[in-house]
Amino acid sequence: MLPFRISQQGSGEETTIEVSEEDRVQTWPEDARLTVVGHGHGRLEGNQKVTGRARYTYDVRLPGQLYAKVLRSPHPHARIERIDTTAAEQLPGVHAVLSSANAPGITWYENSSLFDTTVRMIGDEVAAVAAESEEIAEDALRLIDVTYTPLPFVVDLESALQPDAPKVWEGGNISQEPKVYDRGDADAGLRDADVVVDETFTTASVLHNSLEPHGCTASWEGEYLTLWNSTQSVFTIRQEVAEALDLPEHRVRVIKEHMGGGFGAKQIAWKQDVLAALLSRQAGRPVQLMLDREAENLVVGNRPSTRQRVRLGAKRDGTLTAISAELVQARGAYLTGGEASNVSGIYQTLYKCPNVHTDETTVYINAGPAVAFRAPGHVEAAFALEGAMDQLARALDIDPVELRRRNYAEIDQTEDKPYSLPEGLRLCYDRLTEAIGWDTYQRPEPTGPKRRGIGFAAHDWAAGSGHPPAYAWIELNGDGTADVVTGTQDIGTGTRTGLAQVAAEELGLPLDRIAFHLGDTATGPYSPVSSGSATQASMGPAIRAAALDVKEQLFRVASTVLEIPADRLSARDGKILVDGDMSRAVPIEDIMGQISPATLHGRGARGPNPSDLAIRTFGGQFIELEVDIETGEVTLHRIVSAHDIGRIVNPTVVDSQVIGGITQGIGFALTEGRVIDHRLGLVLNPDLEEYFVPTIADVPSIDHVHVNVPDVKANTTGAKGVGEPPLIPTAPAIANAIFDAVGIRIRSTPLSRDRILAGLATAAEAASQKPEVPA
Amino acid sequence: MRPFSYTRPSTISEAISLLESGGATIGESNGESDSIGARSDRGNLRGDDRPRLLAGGTDLLPLMKGDIAEPAHLIDIKRLPELDDTILMSPEGITIGALASLAKLEDDPLVCSMHPALAEAASLAATPQLRNMATIGGNLLQRPRCWYFRSDKVNCWLKGGEDCPARDGENQHHAIFSVSPCVAAHPSDLATALLALGASVEIQGPAGKRTLDLDDFFAPPTDERRLENVLEPTEVIVSITIPTASGAAQSAYLKAMDRKVWAFAQVAVGAMLVIQDQRITEARLVLGGVSPIPWRATDAEGLLTGAAPGRELFDQVAQVALQGAVPLSRNGYKVPLAKALITRALMAASTPKDVSA
Amino acid sequence: MIATPPLSSRIPVTLTINGRDHPLLVEPRRTLLDALRHDLELTGTKKVCDMGNCGACTVAVDGQAMYSCLLLAVDCDGRDITTIEGVASGNELDPLQQAFIEHDAFQCGFCTSGQIMNLHVLLDRHDNPTDEQIQRTVTGNLCRCGAYPNIAKAARRAVELKAARPNADPVPSGGR
């Protein structure tokens, strides 16, 4: 019996689902001798990607395909008084024009609509055109005449909080009821402390800048809509687009084969997904609508800016008596439902502490909406918490790793549940200190104006447990090959390969006999969004279950053919073994040949996460760097990273994820930040010229130290997710290393040259005035 | 991009006639072709559909894509036989054809050995691919990277508007020496290096050729000429000449960026010193990223000339060079940064090089 | 002199792509990138920023790596252009492509065509480039997934693979 699916609306409450298909699967023990899982392997789609043949959403070319462009608001807040699209409609080569004048009334962003007559940010959609070429569509946009009445606006967090601030929405600028958490009594804990650190940090809004922009190609066949969509969740797009267009879900098919990055921003449907469908219906031809880089950086998400006041109280011996955090973050002009941001989380869980208070306020501004960005909330919060912890270690004169060990959390204190692998973080501390030689570590001597420093930061991450339900089907073919069919998506993380390895392991087939199918709502069973570092942990157990289902059927066939009881059979490397004896192995294709053209079909589902355990990922990083005290230049030398991510299914791909996450962390720390002119409401760097993502020259040597202890209580594969964790500790470790090198604490990202030079100047001045500088 | 027509003339004078005609001889008339001489809003890009020359295209095409430049005609001069990319040595100096790519400059043995500042400037500019495309002529003419100037939503002073929004806005990348209503920083790495090397530029126009020192070629934008140089709209850069120095000249170019590579200069320094008998006999010191044009630190040069090279002197020179700086709200960091780079560039330019290098 | 008729008229060009001539009619404003992706449906070359800021659209033009988003198609008439589709010989991958797979030198793969084209030109010109040359080359291509260290390793590995090829055609190393 396949379990039914319960959609989880809004509240995020857990829904328990009975799943029979997984019940029989035995968890791979910690010391399981696996032959495919745990071994490095290049990506299955490698050949397509290195030859340019991998077809991304942007590359879809259908007969008669039109190209759409969107006219966007040049005002951060305005009322549209009049819109005239006549000239655009008459331009030769234009096939469809949509605006508030003719578009169906579709609700979007809570109280707004597809084409709202009030625009609330620069970039808001005002009209859309489909034409025979991108150039003609662009010409047509210039012919649309719009009269705006500008309205007062506010684009920065602090101003938006003022009582007399212009209102983004009539109800005011506080976008949600503040989220308050209390455990024990933080104020009392601060009073009881021997030492209190009280620091305020800010983080800049950063932009995902996936290289492939958001967008889709829409094509109708009668009442059936197909959407090729650059998305992290084909099933979410199907549901949301069907709802917006008032279509039953089975009339919407969403396909995503390859994707040029998402990083969290592509987990919900955005306006262009519906716009393309409407334009295509109006034009009677397929329509491709891909965002340009500017729109990509203006309207489809960002990691929002934060201000965080952190107070830590501790006893002389380092025992934390209180953690208190007052957190404010921008949300942009709209709530998208895809924020998934929890800035409070890490304060509540990373360290053992009886008294914790967090207070999280989110604020509207007239700028692009926030959406999940790789470890949303945690990246921002770790910068503050781990900076404050470093400060506390200095104030107490305790080794920063030792301070963290002394406040080690064995359980999830928010739910009073033990962690599935309580020693996970400790293992990371051990491996990291060993790898860097921490006990005897010596900072290199300064050379000229260059000062060396080392910094440490730890992290946890709330996801990694998997997002059931999730399903998989496996077809074992007559020639001993297998088609693994799922509805998940490979967003560039190596999902195809890691999951095919799980299938190959369980089926006893070599990897090259597996074809892995994903990213199509019409051909694969429901799978959850690829987010929260959860895909391997969500899908892996479902695939194991499906593989076991097939294998049991295979053994029944083999038992008949070989006249040997099924319980004496096993499968390895494409062969069926009797009593585990390789010398008596029969090729699987020989057995399957007996029943061909019949195939064997297996089904699997992912069961619920254990209700009595908290499943987390943990880790930390050491970062060595150098600061040039004359020019303020920071040069990274080496990063050592360790993460408890359970069993490592494919070390090659996992190492790439760690390096990639850290690279984005380097950008967040040192160079990236959305710049907005507060007077104009204008984002000044919605591009790749003045928005500085790291280049090869910005990335030092990165060592990923494998912890690789299977989390056998987490799921049947023992694997957790790795996508997000590596990015979390990078920025605080860099900031702490800068402090170590030159004694200044930069409390705002990016840790840019101007901030470092200003910090150095202030420190120099203070040093010249006072004989002693406080720690 | 807006539609435009494309022409590939076969001689420089043809190109110049096309520029003079305002495009009237190319394709359809724009109805304004006779207004060229009368126009006083030179550099005012909005609505300016006059023809533009296309060489490397690495600046012009982004301006057109960004709806900042709107020429109705492009005149492709990349294949003009009279223009070239040769680098020739004569007793007067090294002459570089206007079409020489930045990649060629960065690799050229003559440039590397005689004028390392130029080779370094080229190698620190943009990326390998852009250096393959961009030409030295176009590089000197590139427009500022100021984000207000580059935004199609802002009509800044430089584009013909009333005000410079950067002056009191987000000016972290902008000028610290105020010489114009515009506070954008000049973006060219080569310009800083070439000015330090005392280069001149040969220009051809309707009336024939003329040669200008780069000192005179770059000029702060004014109400009448909202442009960073004095090139007339009907003129073409033909070549650049770096004169032979009076003695054993050494040069250096240093650049600080927002990331390790592929960014415009926060501050750059081009320095050239001639040292004879332990004395500096000739000195040129130019800053990039600090003013709407490459900034010649004349007072500082005066301090260097005749003095004995050394760290103490260079620190003092750096102080003098920044004396007149008036940072804006967000770019105060450029002052200490420029000082540090000046000292280092002068140290580099006064350290004897290994001749075999 | 080649002059063109009114603004948006299309004019004939012949693009030589991967050794084959493609006669096309294009508007002057059509970039080489759009001509490849739209007129010829060679979508291996990617559009990311379209402003010369990312490197995803890198192709080889007359043996030099260039951004195809900043080249006009009309301006490429008669030039020899190689795109990612022309790097492998039939189904046999180029050593660089092989090395990219081996060393996991990509994740999402959207920058990969540009990375390979840029390095392909380097390895055509230098049979044994230094690590610094490799790094300098890759500075012209952004990778948001952060595959840089593996890209550098793949380039180094490709050098070995090329040298080990029996039919390797050694080109003297230049270097600067």
Q: Provide the pLDDT confidence category of residue A8 given band limits of 50, 70 and 90.
A: very low
Asked if B71 has any chain C CB less than 8 Å from its own CB, the reply is no
Mean pLDDT (whole number) for A359-386: 98
Tell which of B46, B61, B259 to mutate to test the A interface (max A CBs under 10 Å). B259
Task: Single out the residue of A605, A663, A676, A607 nearest to residue A636, CA to CA.
Answer: A663
Q: Give the residue-averaged pLDDT of C134-152.
A: 98
**A738 closest CA partner among A620, A628, A642:** A628
**Amino acid at residue number A545:** A
* Chains in contact with A, counting 3 or more C-beta pairs less than 8 Å apart as contact: B, C
Specify burial of residue B197 (Cβ count, 10 A radius: 0-12, 13-18, 19+).
buried
- Has residue B113 got a pLDDT over 60? yes
Q: Mean of the pLDDT values across residues B255-281?
A: 97
Average pLDDT over residues B101-109: 97
Considering only CA atoms, which of B247, B117, B125 is closest in space to residue B186?
Answer: B125
Q: Is the dihedral of CA B4, B7, B12, B16 positive or negative?
A: negative
Q: What is the pLDDT of residues A561-619, one digit of tens each?
A: 999 999 999 999 999 999 999 888 999 999 999 999 999 999 999 999 999 999 999 99
What is the spatial distance between Cα A293 and Cα A687, in angstroms, rounded to a whole number? 6
pLDDT of residue C172: 43
Give tens-digit pLDDT for B287-346.
999 999 999 999 999 999 999 999 999 999 999 999 999 999 999 999 999 999 999 999
- The total of other beta-carbon atoms located within 10 Å of residue A498's CB is 29
pLDDT digits (tens, 9 = 90+) for A425-455: 999 999 999 999 999 999 999 999 999 999 9
Q: Of the residues A360, A724, A765, A772, which is catalytic?
A: A724
- The number of residues in chain B equals 357
Interface-testing mutation among A61, A134, A139, A211, with chain C (most C C-beta atoms within 10 A): A211
* pLDDT confidence of residue A21: 62
pLDDT at position A769, please?
Answer: 83
pLDDT exceeds 90 at position A771: no
Percentage of chain A beyond pLDDT 90 is 94
Closest Cβ opposite residue B337 in set A675, A692, A757: A757
The residues facing A80 across adjacent strands are: A148
User: Tens of pLDDT along A282-315?
Assistant: 999 999 999 999 999 999 999 999 999 999 999 9
3-state helix, strand, coil in chain C (%, to 5): 35, 15, 45
Contact (CB, 8 A) for A655 and C137 = no
Through-space distance between the first and last CA atoms of chain B, rounded to whole angstroms = 46
Phi, psi angle pair for A588, to nearest 5°: -60, -35
To the nearest whole number, what is the mean pLDDT of chain C?
92
Between B and C, how many residue pairs show a Cβ–Cβ distance under 8 A?
103
Task: Give residue A403's pLDDT band: very low, low, confident or very high (50, 70, 90).
Answer: very high
- Say yes or no: A194 contacts chain C, CB-CB below 8 A: no
Nearest residue on chain A to B1, alpha-carbon basis? A135
Q: Distance (Å) from the C-alpha of residue A209 to the closest C-alpha of chain C?
A: 7
**What residues of B are in contact with residue C139 (Cβ under 8 Å)?**
127-128, 261-262
Contact A85/B at CB under 8 A: no
Judge whether A231 is closer than 8 Å to chain C, CB to CB. Answer: no
Q: Give per-residue pLDDT as tens, A487-518.
A: 999 999 999 999 999 999 999 999 999 999 99
Residue A459 tokens, joined: 């992290």
Confidence of residue A640 (pLDDT cuts 50, 70, 90): very high
Name the pLDDT band for B39 (thresholds 50, 70, 90): very low
Chain A residues whose CB is inside 8 A of the C97 CB are 50-51
Task: State the count of interchain CB pairs (< 8 A) between A and B.
Answer: 79
CA distance B21 to A307: 58
Distance of alpha carbon B119 from alpha carbon A71, whole angstroms: 44
Checking if the pLDDT of A20 tops 70, the result is no
CB B48 within 8 A of CB B42: no
For residue A305, which amino acid is it? S
Q: How many residues does chain A have?
A: 775
- How far apart CA A384 and CA A199 sit, in angstroms, is 8
The shortest C-alpha distance from C146 to chain A (Å) reads 4
Q: Quick check: A688 contacting B, CB < 8 Å?
A: no
Residue A552 falls in the annotated catalytic set: no
Chain C residues within an 8 Å CB radius of B132: 64-66
CB C112 within 8 A of CB C99: no
Tokens of A753: 């040259």
Q: What is the pTM of this model?
A: 0.96
The confidence score (pLDDT) of residue B79 equals 94
Of the partner residues A49, A664, A693, the one whose CB lies closest to the CB of residue C109? A49
pLDDT band, very low/low/confident/very high, at C170 (cuts 50, 70, 90): very low
Which tens digit of pLDDT belongs to each residue from C20-72?
Answer: 999 999 999 999 999 999 999 999 999 999 999 999 999 999 999 999 999 99
Any residues with CB less than 8 A from the CB of B97 and at least 6 apart, and which? B83, B84, B85, B86, B87, B136, B238, B239
The yes-or-no verdict on residue A150 having pLDDT over 70 is yes
Residues in B touching A758 (Cβ below 8 Å): 332-333
How far is the C-alpha of C18 from the C-alpha of B326, rounded, in Å? 55
d(CA B91, CA A764): 51
Q: Taking 90 as the threshold, does the pLDDT of residue C81 lie above it?
A: yes
Write out the DSSP string of A613-633: -B--EEEEEEEEEEEETTT--
Closest CA to B285 of B326, B213, B351, B338: B338
- Closest C-alpha among A657, A260, A496 to residue C110: A260
Q: What is the pLDDT of residue C176?
A: 35
Interface A-C, measured as beta-carbon pairs within 8 A, has a size of 162
Tokens representing B320?
A: 């003098």
pLDDT band, very low/low/confident/very high, at B354 (cuts 50, 70, 90): low
Per-residue confidence (pLDDT) for residue A463, from 0 to 100 = 73
* Interchain pair B332, A758: CB under 8 A: yes
pLDDT at position A110: 84
Rounded to two decimals, the ipTM of the complex is 0.96
Task: Note the pLDDT of residue B357.
Answer: 38
The residue type found at B259 is R
Q: Å from C19 to nearest chain B CA?
A: 21
Q: What is the pLDDT of residue B46?
A: 60
In tens, the pLDDT along A36-51 reads 999 999 999 999 999 9
Q: How far is A663 from chain C (nearest CA, A)?
A: 5
pLDDT confidence band for B30 (50 / 70 / 90): very low
Lowest-confidence region among A554-558, A669-673, C3-7, C104-108: C3-7
* CA–CA dist A710, A634 (Å, integer): 37
pLDDT the model gives residue C165 = 84
From the CA of B109, how many Å to the nearest CA of chain C?
9
Of A11-25, A58-72, B57-71, the poorest mean pLDDT is in A11-25
Q: How far is the C-alpha of C67 from the C-alpha of C69, rounded, in Å?
A: 5
Q: What is the dihedral of CA B46, B47, B53, B56, to 10 degrees?
A: 50
Give one DSSP letter per residue of A142-204, joined into a string: HT-EEEEEE-----SHHHHHSTTSPPSSTT-SB-S--EEEEES-HHHHHHH-SEEEEEEEEE-
Averaged over A681-701, what is the pLDDT? 98
Mean residue pLDDT across chain A? 95
pLDDT surpassing 80 at residue A772? no
Residues in chain A closer than 8 A to B269 (CB atoms): none
Say yes or no to pLDDT of B168 above 80: yes
Contacts of B133 in chain C (CB under 8 A): 66-67, 70-71
Give percent of chain B with pLDDT exceeding 90.
88
Q: Which two tokens stand for residue A234?
A: 């084909």
**Token couple for A652:** 């090659």
* Chain centroid offset of residue A158 CA: 27
How far is Cα A608 from Cα A537, in angstroms, rounded to an integer? Answer: 11
CB contact under 8 A, C144 and A211: yes
> CA-CA distance, B250 to B273, in Å (whole number)?
5
What is the predicted pLDDT for the residue at B41?
A: 41
CA proximity to A653, closest of C56, C135, C145: C145
Residue A334, classed as helix, strand or coil, is coil
Q: How many CB atoms lie within 10 A of CB A6?
A: 10
**Least-confidence region, from A757-771, B197-211, C74-88:** A757-771
Q: Tokens for A681?
A: 């409401």
